[in-house]
Structure 1
Amino acid sequence: MRLVIERGELLRALGHVTSVVERRTTIPILSNVLLKASGQALELKATDLEREVIEEVRADVGAAGAVTVPAHILHDIVRKLPEGSQIDIRRDTEKERLTLAAGQARFALQTLGPEDFPDLNAGDLGTSFEIAAKDLKRLIDKTRFAISTEETRYYLNGIFFHIAESGKTSMLRAVATDGHRLAQAELPRPKGAEGMPGVIIPRKTVHELHRLIEESAETVSVAVSASKVRFEIGSVTLTSKLIDGTFPDYGRVIPQSNDQELRVANTDFMSAVDRVSTIASERGRAVKLNITSGKLVLSVNNPEGGSATEEIDVNYTSSPLEIGFNAKYLLDIAGQLEGDEARFLLADPGSPTMIRSAGDDNALYVLMPMRV
């Protein structure tokens, strides 16, 4: 194998694929990236057996071939080479080495045979469709903060993507919950997504996908089966196993009869919560909302750290109500609201509260109260 490639092209591709390579693994070849040269391109592939990233970049290939080398070492070498340099890559089959040359710099890396590199063969993915990158990013942004990190409830360790009916419109809906809060976002079902199975995309895959979308093309091609999902984002292909579990019936925790509505300027509310929660203990982080007609008083009382209160004007005409929430969870949700005004639909101090943006019907949040 022999090729010449521009340093920037190789660095960008390595940045995409090495993100799925674990730095510590008991299987040596999983620390490597597979390089496959043919035609006028170099294909790079990396995997952790749960996720696989493939990218193809332009290269001047002198002799086709394939080899695997330590992914993070190669990435570090290329990163430290001068910008704009041309990298000459050759495989020395006798010494089982891959040599890299750029300017006066020379490197030789240990290799492992490409035939042992695992293939996350997705097989036939029954449902496929295209979605605008910004729309997929929005679904992820609005829900991923609520993904559970509790490993015992593994079926909550991802975002549940499925087709759901909203009124008379069929929607692609994303839902995440950790038992304390729930985030739901949706958009009209993309063409071709009808019949898509409900799937739970793992947390690591969600974060990887979000990172790739941020640098990506305008559309993302999605293919789904009951056990795997594949995303084609420009020149990058991300394939992932799905969480093998049943997402709970989240509809049961979305309140339907909360009839006490609080409307508040979202930026004012966020700033006030942020200020008073400075006093809150790391363990509790509870902030109390005392809501009366036209007025909201936020307060925190920490026996070890002191107390804080702040009053803001609100639109509220129902009976007075005192309710407590985790300050961090409030800020996470408020940070995702798109309009200027936040709507809180409340029932009583012990029941879940629904939070929406006054100008956005395609996202909703549910937050469990805390005792304060």
Structure 2
Amino acid sequence: MVATDGHRLAHVERSNEKFEGVSGEMKTLVPKKAMDELRSLVDSTDVETIEFAKDESTLFFRIGPRLLTSRQLTGQFPNYEAVLPKDNSKSILLHGDDLGSAIARVAQFADERSRAVRLKLENGELKLSASSTETGESEDSIETDYKGDPLTIGFNAQYISDFLKAAGAGDVRLELKDAQSAGQLRPAEGEDYKYRYIVMPMRI
């Protein structure tokens, strides 16, 4: 499953999963509003499975006794595989709560429009900072296991917070290449699925 808004991309992959009535590959474009409604329905019930079907124009989701229908989007989804990082060699392990708290503290001083925060990676430390002409500036730091060349990169603070909310509690891994290339965030612990979150950098 893949979703993108042009600035970030979420990719979830689950291997060795078999679906009744499906042979080979099936691709479907689902509207964001339909996914939001589906999540709301799933959160309000203890049903463990979702039944899915479609025709040429409509998508059908059955959650217990409830049926959600949505129009099927037409067109071509972007070639997301081209933007998935393949050589982000600068990798650090962080506790999700530590990163989330630091982002929240620093982001209060970020520009309201861009929400940009600066991440400076150095030996043993990740420094986070933000500034604006209206609110001033703020800096925070987190100890890390990083050993390598320094790197400074900018990201939208809200995008990082959204990833941490989706990933849940636990350690996360931040993987970078350089200041101009997309960064990758992912849960550090192994799950029965693979979750990758790609964020485009910002000029800072």
Q: 2:197: which partner in 1?
A: 365
Q: Is the 8 A contact 1:285 1:326 kept in 2?
A: yes
Q: Is the 8 A contact 1:279 1:300 kept in 2?
A: yes
User: Counterparts of 2:169 and 2:65 in 1: how far apart (Å)?
Assistant: 35
Per the alignment, in what secondary structure is the counterpart of residue 364 of structure 1? strand
1:227-238 pair list within 5 angstroms: 227-238=57-68
Shift in Å at residue 339 of structure 1? 5.4
Per the alignment, in what secondary structure is the counterpart of residue 198 of structure 2? strand
| CA distance 1:214–1:337, change in 2 (3 Å) | closer
Shift in Å at residue 340 of structure 1? 1.8
Q: 2:91: which partner in 1?
A: 261
Q: Which residue identity lines up with residue 368 of structure 1 in the other structure?
A: M
What is the count of residue pairs matched by the alignment? 199
Shift in Å at residue 191 of structure 1? 2.5
Q: 2:50 aligns with which of 217, 220, 245?
A: 220
Gapped runs of 5+ residues in structure 1? 1-173
Q: Is the 8 A contact 1:295 1:313 kept in 2?
A: yes
Q: 2:18: which partner in 1?
A: 190
Q: Which residue identity lines up with residue 177 of structure 2 in the other structure?
A: A
Q: Which has the larger radius of gyration?
A: 1
The Cα RMSD (Å) is 1.5
1:318 aligns with 2:148: yes
Shift in Å at residue 313 of structure 1? 0.5
Gapped runs of 5+ residues in structure 2? none
Q: Which residue identity lines up with residue 202 of structure 2 in the other structure?
A: M
Q: Which residue identity lines up with residue 325 of structure 1 in the other structure?
A: F
Shift in Å at residue 234 of structure 1? 1.4
User: Counterparts of 2:54 and 2:143 in 1: how far apart (Å)?
Assistant: 48
* Higher-strand-fraction structure: 1
Q: Deviations over 1:205-236 (max 9, x none)?
A: 11111122222323221113453221111111
Shift in Å at residue 194 of structure 1? 2.6
Q: 1:27: which partner in 2?
A: none
Q: 2:133 aligns with which of 300, 303, 306?
A: 303
Q: 1:242 aligns with which of 43, 57, 72?
A: 72
Q: Which residue identity lines up with residue 219 of structure 1 in the other structure?
A: T
Provide runs of 4+ in structure 1 moved above 6 Å: none
Per the alignment, in what secondary structure is the counterpart of residue 38 of structure 2? helix
1:278 aligns with 2:108: yes
Q: Which has the higher relative contact order, 1 or 2, with Cα contacts under 8 A spaced 6 or more apart?
A: 2
Quick one: percent identity of the two aligned structures? 37
Per the alignment, in what secondary structure is the counterpart of residue 272 of structure 1? helix
Q: TM-score, normalised by structure 1?
A: 0.51
User: Counterparts of 1:320 and 1:273 in 2: how far apart (Å)?
Assistant: 20
